[in-house]
Structure 1
């Protein structure tokens, strides 16, 4: 072997030994901060957030870590929109209809009175143009919004007094957010929105006369049955979808694979929350019937439901006139509902009616 060949080989071996002895650089870890509307360790809603964060970390092999701050930490349960938009937090978990005072078109993406049930609404979001319309609304604010978990059909609420006529709604102080609150106001009620942690105290102290929260999955834990005897069936939130809010600039800085992992984690956690909520409502409803037989289940009288529906239709027409974007969303939802409800009626409803 020539001298030059020997030197070249020696240098090559030395280079290989140096590379082999150099520690492999650890993969970069991306850390996100999430603010949720709910208190610490809140069941169902909070479970969805924790499940999402866990899945994102596991699927990314630890490269994506999400820190969760509940309302106890950030002190702004109904301020998640601003926290994420302003960049104090990278993500949020809340409900879109809480932002109707800031951006009126956001309220349509939680649920609508007399609207779609959960499977229908998931169809609209994922295959009927709902996600694209939500993108259209939130992108103007540097935000991305994704379905964040569905409660299914919610109960109509807890009332101190029985509702026998439209007169009983006049002056009624009720915690009821979203479009349903506007419907109630049109019939003379006084709707308000109160964070979850303050609901029991408000009802107990008669600051409000009634409230709607979710259903047995969460209402039993809140203890409303101890202070309000009448529990009404629902009309106002047939498919309440929470939301994952994401700061778009932060999302765009993530590697493409982590963007997809985050999307998959959010979508999976959202649907799993729907399943959990359905199960927990069934379990807790059984407990309510056996342990608290004093609870009086009621359905609003026909004249009240008819008036609520008329008010709902009138408000939808008014909103469509005021905002072209609202009109686009309302039309999309109504057209999809008209199509999908035919199938719901000849499948699930026909089956249940035959039992």
Structure 2
């Protein structure tokens, strides 16, 4: 009899505790911090995490609040992965190719030279196996990575002197990150990666002779045209996807509904940055000749493009040997590009060709 009463009391206590825990979880406010690679005024890159945080708070009815710290606050623009991995920040906003020195497997998830366009790459991420491969690559770092906003096809960079041949590249000091940097290094360029806030000063002081940043809407604000007037069209970053990094342990501690809200907020804000940037570029490009008459728009000679393609293909073969996972990712991207590009040519390319 006593045993039965005790059992009933324990069950009742457990039910009350369970209800209390559920109610607490529902009402609890989670306060997170997010560190970005970008300065507080670097639109639209900084807009993506800010919009994400706003969406997450609104959709969660205030239960998930994310403070966004720009690079000028935390002072470690290229330390985002380490800070999120260590739990110093629950989230980060940066670009995956910045971490190639730490882990070569992370390189391809931003963009690759002569690779997919933004729509093609988004299709690969969400429907072609890209997301699964990205989480597999980041698993050892105990973080999750999600698309964080795409810049579309980036311009090929600002140069002090005109590039007429491969010889003109030899000895050139250039800021260019990712796999494109390795391609140019193979052609004789001295390559470096410099944090966004230091780019203008490095160009002005002659630390570098050339740099690539993004595209007209962001580039002209930086003033690069005042020093290096030759502005080349792109080849190296056809679909530069930024990234949200999330500490895996912290993510798993969130209630399931907040996990879904966070993932949704990241996806919406990422796509919004893509279309925002497209709009900003169209406006900047429409006025570039009038506002910046000294800018000389150039396209790399065919001989230079061919040399870049050859170097790129050779490096891809070499890199694939370094890691089975990298080989798997590169193979997935190449196969998907081969398939999706046929539709891109039939749809977008033919439309433009027939109507321009």
Which band: TM-score by shorter chain?
A: over 0.9
- SS of 1:231's equivalent in the other structure is strand
Matched, 1:255 2:216: no
- Offset at 1:183? 0.2
Q: Give me the whole-angstrom Cα distance separating, in 2, the residues matched to 1:137 and 1:161.
A: 39
- SS of 2:162's equivalent in the other structure is coil
Matched, 1:324 2:305: no
Q: Give me the whole-angstrom Cα distance separating, in 1, the residues matched to 2:49 and 2:285.
A: 24
- After TM superposition, the runs of 4+ consecutive aligned structure 1 residues lying more than 3 A away are none
What is the match of residue 222 of structure 1?
Answer: 222
Q: Give me the whole-angstrom Cα distance separating, in 1, the residues matched to 2:285 and 2:199.
A: 20
Q: Give me the whole-angstrom Cα distance separating, in 2, the residues matched to 1:71 and 1:252.
A: 26
Q: Give me the whole-angstrom Cα distance separating, in 1, the residues matched to 2:306 and 2:320.
A: 21
- Offset at 1:256? 0.1
Matched, 1:62 2:62: yes
Q: Give me the whole-angstrom Cα distance separating, in 1, the residues matched to 2:227 and 2:188.
A: 24
- Offset at 1:161? 0.3
| Stretch of structure 1 that moved more, 286-295 or 250-259 | 286-295
What is the match of residue 346 of structure 2?
Answer: 346
What is the match of residue 280 of structure 1?
Answer: 280
Provide Cα deviations, 1:28-79, integer angstroms capped at 9, x if missing partner: 1011110000111321000111100000000000000001111111111000
- Offset at 1:225? 1.2
- Offset at 1:287? 2.1
Q: Give me the whole-angstrom Cα distance separating, in 2, the residues matched to 1:158 and 1:186.
A: 20
- Offset at 1:207? 0.7
Instruction: Please tell me the root mean square deviation across aligned C-alpha atoms, in Å.
Output: 1.0
What is the match of residue 34 of structure 2?
Answer: 34
1:226-241 matches, cutoff 5 A: 226-241=226-241
1:113-128 matches, cutoff 5 A: 113-128=113-128
Q: Give me the whole-angstrom Cα distance separating, in 1, the residues matched to 2:225 and 2:277.
A: 19
What is the match of residue 291 of structure 2?
Answer: 291
Q: Give me the whole-angstrom Cα distance separating, in 1, the residues matched to 2:70 and 2:295.
A: 32
Q: Give me the whole-angstrom Cα distance separating, in 1, the residues matched to 2:257 and 2:269.
A: 18
Matched, 1:245 2:245: yes
What is the match of residue 185 of structure 1?
Answer: 185
Q: Which runs of 5+ in 2 are unaligned?
A: 1-22
Provide Cα deviations, 1:200-225, integer angstroms capped at 9, x if missing partner: 11111111000000001200111111
Aligned length: 332
| Stretch of structure 1 that moved more, 152-161 or 320-329 | 320-329
Q: Give me the whole-angstrom Cα distance separating, in 1, the residues matched to 2:138 and 2:95.
A: 13
- Offset at 1:227? 1.2
What is the match of residue 109 of structure 2?
Answer: 109
Q: Give me the whole-angstrom Cα distance separating, in 1, the residues matched to 2:42 and 2:214.
A: 13
Provide Cα deviations, 1:311-347, integer angstroms capped at 9, x if missing partner: 0000000011121111100100000000000000000
- SS of 1:322's equivalent in the other structure is coil
Q: Give me the whole-angstrom Cα distance separating, in 2, the residues matched to 1:293 and 1:67.
A: 41
1:78-89 matches, cutoff 5 A: 78-89=78-89
Q: Give me the whole-angstrom Cα distance separating, in 2, the residues matched to 1:207 and 1:347.
A: 44
TM-score by length of 1: 0.92
Provide Cα deviations, 1:142-199, integer angstroms capped at 9, x if missing partner: 0100000000000000000000001011011000000000000000001100000010
Provide Cα deviations, 1:6-47, integer angstroms capped at 9, x if missing partner: xxxxxxxxxxxxxxxxxx988110111100001113210001
What is the match of residue 267 of structure 1?
Answer: 267
What is the match of residue 335 of structure 2?
Answer: 335
Q: Give me the whole-angstrom Cα distance separating, in 1, the residues matched to 2:27 and 2:240.
A: 39
- Offset at 1:290? 1.2
Q: Which runs of 5+ in 1 are unaligned?
A: 1-23
TM-score by length of 2: 0.92
Provide Cα deviations, 1:226-284, integer angstroms capped at 9, x if missing partner: 11110000000000000000000000000000000000000000000000010000111
